[in-house]
């Protein structure tokens, strides 16, 4: 097998410029490497992954406040409670949305998944770029890339966030918690972290 040319590795500021130019990039997270674009360019990720648009993307941000701007106030208190305990970290909160984010990330849906990754260089990028639409770095239905090299083999044209080597990640997807009502959540996917006291009904 031919080894691909080393990926273009850029600083957070340079990656942010590419994002503003409507490009997708590869980023590290605390779970798995991911693809990232500005939310209004979310269709780029579905195209790259050959993934149906009925599979929502995740909104990553640098702060709770930045993420909650796209979320209905009815769940803010509950979201802040879990965010205080588990963010930055490997828990995705699926929350009722408002504004354009839901149209970008979950067309025809009502919720968006939100997360602050426990990865300092990606947090720095998010503080520059603002919230980003993200997904694991793999074609739909294929195993997720677990390293920068694997991501480069799958998406050789995309720049990657530096510096590298990236921090160690868990290799597990995030746990997904869906807000149902005030004080009530359910676990939709068991992943790297399982918080206590959350209903486990499917």
The residues, any chain, with a CB within 8 Å of residue 192's CB and separated by 6 or more, are 30, 31, 90, 170, 172, 173, 174, 175
pLDDT digit string (tens) for 55-93?
899 999 999 999 999 999 999 999 999 999 999 999 999
Q: Taking a C-beta distance cutoff of 8 angstroms, is the pair 50, 184 a contact?
A: no
What's the predicted TM-score (pTM) here? 0.92
Q: What is the pLDDT along the chain (202 residues), one digit of tens a residue?
A: 444 567 899 999 999 999 999 999 999 999 999 999 999 999 999 999 998 877 899 999 999 999 999 999 999 999 999 999 999 999 999 999 988 899 999 998 999 999 999 999 999 999 999 999 999 999 988 999 999 999 999 999 999 999 999 988 887 888 999 999 998 999 998 887 777 767 554 4
The residues, any chain, with a CB within 8 Å of residue 99's CB and separated by 6 or more, are 69, 70
The residues, any chain, with a CB within 8 Å of residue 12's CB and separated by 6 or more, are 121, 124, 125, 128, 161
Give CA–CA dist 200/5, Å, rounded: 45
The residues, any chain, with a CB within 8 Å of residue 23's CB and separated by 6 or more, are 37, 44, 158, 159
The pLDDT value given to residue 169: 85
Compute CA 127 distance to the chain's CA centroid, rounded to the nearest angstrom.
14
Domains of the chain, start order: 9-189 (3.90.870.10)
Q: How far apart are the first and last CA of the chain?
A: 43
């Amino acid at each position: 097998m031919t080894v691909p040319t080393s990926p273009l590795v850029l600083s957070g500021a340079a990656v942010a410029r590419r994002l503003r130019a409507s490009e997708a990039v590869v980023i590290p997270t605390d779970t798995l490497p991911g693809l990232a674009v500005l939310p209004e360019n979310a269709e780029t990720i579905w195209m790259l992954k050959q993934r149906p648009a009925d599979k929502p993307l995740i909104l990553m941000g640098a702060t709770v406040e930045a993420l909650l701007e796209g979320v209905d106030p009815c769940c803010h208190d509950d979201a802040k409670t879990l965010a205080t305990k588990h963010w930055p970290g490997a828990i995705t909160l699926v929350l009722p949305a408002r504004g354009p984010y839901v149209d970008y990330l979950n067309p025809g849906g009502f919720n968006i998944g939100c997360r602050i990754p426990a990865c300092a260089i990606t947090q720095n990028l998010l503080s520059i770029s603002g919230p980003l639409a993200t997904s694991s770095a793999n074609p739909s239905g294929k195993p997720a890339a677990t390293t920068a090299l694997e991501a480069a083999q799958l998406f050789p044209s995309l720049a990657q966030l530096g510096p590298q080597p990236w921090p160690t990640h868990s290799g597990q997807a995030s746990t997904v918690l869906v807000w149902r009502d005030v004080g009530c959540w359910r676990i939709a996917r068991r992943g790297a972290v399982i918080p206590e006291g959350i209903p486990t009904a499917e």
